[in-house]
Amino acid sequence: MLSSRYLHLHEALGLGPMWLKRGAKTIPAALTTPKTGMPKPAAASVQTTIPRQERPLSAGAHQARLSAMAAVHGGSQQDVPEREMPSQQTAAVEAARQSEAKPKQETPADKQTRSIQNTADLPAAPHHSDDLPRLSATVKTAHLMVVSICPSTEDTLHGELFHGETGVLLDNMLAAIRLSPQQAHKTSWVKAAPVFSPHPSEAQIHAELPALKHELESSQARAVLFLGQVFEQKEMMAVMDELCGGIPYFTIPHPARLLRQPRLKAYAWQVLKKAAAVL
């Protein structure tokens, strides 16, 4: 006896009746169906795909999933990709937003930094100096005030006006008219080295005039000795007269130029003797 399902199977496989015995009889499908209530299988040619539905995880299941992933990665829950912990990401974004909205309390160090920045933003003396600081001289009582147009870059870097051989030659020239370095107030008209130019602009020179007047009055110098060719220009005569008033002044080549052109020392010596006569 053969089950009818067996016959259907042969037909589905395309075997045909030749595989069956001639004396075979079929049993109705109702008699061979198990009593378990299993549904009748669909035909082999029909395929039905049922979409998979994922159940939402509960809080406990989500936590267990994170713990399992952390164990697999060999780290803590913090090693789990950020997309697995949306609550932590949201908390971080919210904390950053609150931090930006809350005003930052200024510390003493912040106040000092802000003070320095504000000082830098204030309008400085009208000069430009290759980012080098102003080189100011301490005013002291002297017989003679020695003025150059501006410090050199080397002077500014060393923090000393007439640095090196230039200063040595200047002191020797003063000693020749019986003046010690302490009896001469050495200064510069513009207190910083100019940018891309050997001389300051006319505007800078006029802007520094009030401060230089104050230096001359404080030093109580009896005469002024100007150093450099710039003071021989006609444009400088008026401002030099305004600075000195009734105080006599003299002009000689700058000591740096005298080092390069020693033949000018004779002329400088003649002028120095005239200055010594009024001291």
pLDDT of 4-53, one tens digit each? Answer: 555 556 566 655 555 555 665 655 555 555 555 555 555 444 454 555 55
pLDDT tens, position by position, 101-155: 555 565 545 544 443 343 334 334 444 444 556 666 688 899 999 999 988 888 8
Give whole-number Cα distances, 118 to 32, 104, 112, 115, 242, in Å: 99, 19, 10, 5, 34
Strands 2-3 and 26-27: parallel
Q: In which band, very low, low, confident or very high, does the pLDDT at 84 lie, cut at 50, 70 and 90?
A: very low
| 21 found inside a domain | yes
| 27 found inside a domain | yes
Domain tally, the chain: 2
Q: Given this model, what pLDDT does residue 240 score?
A: 97
For residue 205, the enclosing domain spans 144-277
Q: Given this model, what pLDDT does residue 180 score?
A: 95
240 in Cβ contact with 249 (< 8 Å): yes
DSSP 38-75: PPPPPPTT----PPP-PPPPPHHHHHHHHHHHHHHHTS
Q: In which band, very low, low, confident or very high, does the pLDDT at 274 lie, cut at 50, 70 and 90?
A: very high
Residue that has been written with the tokens 């030099």 in this structure: 240
Q: What's 28's DSSP letter?
A: P
200 in Cβ contact with 194 (< 8 Å): yes
Higher pLDDT, 181 or 17: 181
| 50 found inside a domain | no
The answer to whether residues 151 and 26 belong to one domain is: no
| 214 found inside a domain | yes
The domain that holds 210 is classified in CATH as 3.40.470.10
Question: Hey, is 3 helix, strand or coil?
Answer: strand
| 221 found inside a domain | yes
| 205 found inside a domain | yes
| 104 found inside a domain | no
pTM (two decimals): 0.53
The answer to whether residues 149 and 26 belong to one domain is: no
Rounded to whole angstroms, how far apart are CA atoms 161 and 151? 6
| 76 found inside a domain | no
182 in Cβ contact with 154 (< 8 Å): no
Give whole-number Cα distances, 254 to 7, 167, 226, in Å: 126, 11, 8
140 in Cβ contact with 105 (< 8 Å): no
DSSP 138-161: -----SEEEEESS--HHHHHHT-T
